[in-house]
């Protein structure tokens, strides 16, 4: 009888987190759906829900249909970029055990920016498609270079990783400043990309980074169990049959690919990769798999909400989403610091 009671209690204890995860994910998906609708409704011209529905079903006039269809790529890009930044943030914070880690920690943002500046100054690159194509390899190469620095010696060293990222970021930032100050035409082209924005992109930009985002998210979910084991510590993970160094290496490579794709598509956007993992952890606990699933929803929600706010604040103009997330991310950074103090 006692064994039966214990078994029932254990089953109930296992089901509670699963039910909570399901409820939180469904609520997050509902909020994301509402934000996507708002992203299509609001802009220089605000469309009521009825007109949006008519455009979706093909019963609206030509002007309304054109306006609605022009906002589809922007909304889709926000989903892809938000997912990439948020999932990359979860992976980086888990691997480095640094609650302040974000995609910029590996110098990915600066690497993409340096690649764009070099291509514009020395190869005459212009236009969104060419900028995206040039920024992606720059971001990836920077991330791989920092990883090599972090793994010199005996395995992956989070401290060496952070220091290497800081040093390379400083060097590349100096290069960017030198080129943009000496070539005003490069600065004029670069300044619009460096702030971070979702507007002005077409479906080509979405389709160019979508495969990387989907593949990166799939690999991250596959690594979830291994990352949970690695979080127990090197010795415990090894005793359980895991290979911590391999799991960390693949996780960091995946984070680099995700953040590189997001940065190449929309420019460097701060604080999404920092704030979303903390929010997911607060809602669903320390399980990395649950954090990844929820972050894949919360990241696009936060980014699209910031984009909508930027469009409404200065209508008929718009405030770039990178500016809005920077303002919103400052409180998130303070909360993270306070949590670090409380846990220490």
Does residue 89 have a pLDDT over 50? Answer: yes
d(CA 205, CA 76): 10
- Considering only CA atoms, which of 202, 192, 193, 214 is closest in space to residue 77? 202
- Tell me how far apart the alpha carbons of residues 154 and 93 are, in angstroms, rounded to a whole number: 21
Question: What mean pLDDT is predicted for residues 253-258?
Answer: 89
156: alpha, beta or left? (left if phi > 0; alpha if psi -120 to 50): beta
Domain borders along the chain are 75-339
* CA pair distance 152, 116, nearest whole angstrom: 29
Higher pLDDT, 112 or 4: 112
Q: Report how far residue 172's alpha carbon sits from residue 112's, in angstroms, rounded to the nearest whole number.
A: 10
Mean pLDDT along residues 156-182: 86
pLDDT digits (tens, 9 = 90+) for 171-212: 999 999 999 888 888 887 777 778 888 888 888 889 888 999
Helices (H), 151-243: 158-182, 184-195, 203-230, 234-239
Per the prediction, the chain carries an average pLDDT of: 83
How confident is residue 4, by pLDDT bands cut at 50, 70 and 90?
very low
pTM of structure: 0.87
Nearest by Cα to 161 from 169, 170, 151, 171: 151
Burial code (b: 16+ CB inside 10 Å, e: under 16) for 211-241 equals ebbeebbebbeebbebbbbbbeeeeebeeee
Q: Collapsing DSSP states into helix, strand and coil, what is residue 282? A: helix
Selection from 41-45, 241-245, 330-334 with the highest mean pLDDT: 41-45
Give the pLDDT score at 254: 92
Q: State the pLDDT at residue 213.
A: 92
Yes or no: say if 183 and 206 are a contact pair by the CB < 8 Å rule: no
Return the pLDDT at 237. 63
pLDDT tier at 163 (50, 70, 90 boundaries)? confident
Closest among 11, 16, 9, 13 to 284, alpha carbons compared: 16
* pLDDT exceeds cutoff 60 at 6: no
Q: What is the pLDDT of residue 236?
A: 66
Q: Are 254 and 91 in contact (CB under 8 A)?
A: yes
CB 89 within 8 A of CB 273: yes
Q: Which residue has the tokens 């930027």?
A: 310
Contact assessment for residue 299 and residue 240, using Cβ atoms and an 8 Å cutoff: no
- pLDDT value at position 343? 57
pLDDT at 56: 86
| Alpha helix segments (H runs only) across 104-150 | 108-123, 128-150
- Per residue in 115-134, pLDDT (tens digit) is 888 888 888 777 667 777 78
Is the domain defined by 75-339 classed in CATH 1.10.1240.10? no
Dihedral of alpha carbons 81, 177, 333, 199, sign: negative
Residue 308: both structure tokens together: 């909508």
Going by the DSSP 8-state scheme, the letter that residue 106 receives in this structure is G
């Amino acid at each position: 009888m006692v064994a039966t009671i214990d078994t029932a209690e254990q089953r109930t204890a296992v089901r509670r987190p699963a039910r909570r995860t399901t409820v939180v994910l469904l609520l997050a998906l509902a909020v994301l759906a509402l934000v996507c609708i708002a992203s299509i409704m609001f802009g220089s011209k605000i469309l009521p829900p009825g007109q949006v529905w008519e455009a979706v079903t093909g019963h609206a006039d030509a002007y309304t249909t054109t306006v609605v269809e022009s906002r589809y790529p922007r909304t889709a890009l926000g989903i892809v970029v938000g997912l990439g930044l948020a999932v990359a943030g979860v992976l980086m914070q888990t691997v480095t055990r640094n609650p302040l880690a974000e995609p910029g920690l590996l110098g990915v943002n600066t690497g993409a920016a340096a690649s764009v500046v070099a291509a514009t100054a020395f190869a005459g690159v212009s236009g969104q498609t060419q900028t995206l194509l040039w920024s992606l390899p720059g971001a990836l190469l920077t991330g791989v270079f920092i990883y090599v620095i972090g793994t010199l010696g005996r395995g992956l060293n989070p401290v060496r990783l952070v220091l290497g990222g800081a040093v390379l970021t400083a060097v590349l930032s100096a290069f960017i400043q030198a080129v943009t100050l000496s070539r005003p035409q490069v600065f004029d082209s670069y300044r619009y990309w460096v702030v971070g924005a979702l507007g002005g992109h077409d479906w080509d930009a979405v389709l160019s980074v979508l495969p990387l985002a989907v593949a990166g998210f799939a690999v991250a979910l596959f690594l979830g169990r291994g990352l949970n084991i690695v979080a127990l510590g090197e010795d415990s993970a090894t005793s359980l049959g895991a290979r911590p160094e391999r799991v960390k290496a693949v996780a960091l490579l995946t984070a680099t690919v995700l953040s590189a794709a997001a940065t190449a598509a929309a420019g460097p956007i701060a604080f999404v990769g920092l704030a979303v993992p903390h929010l997911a952890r607060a809602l669903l606990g320390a399980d990395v798999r649950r954090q990844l699933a929820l972050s894949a929803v919360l990241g696009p929600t936060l980014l699209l909400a910031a984009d909508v706010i930027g469009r409404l604040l200065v209508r008929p103009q718009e405030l770039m989403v990178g500016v809005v997330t920077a303002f919103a991310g400052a409180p998130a950074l303070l909360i993270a610091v306070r949590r670090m103090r409380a846990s220490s």
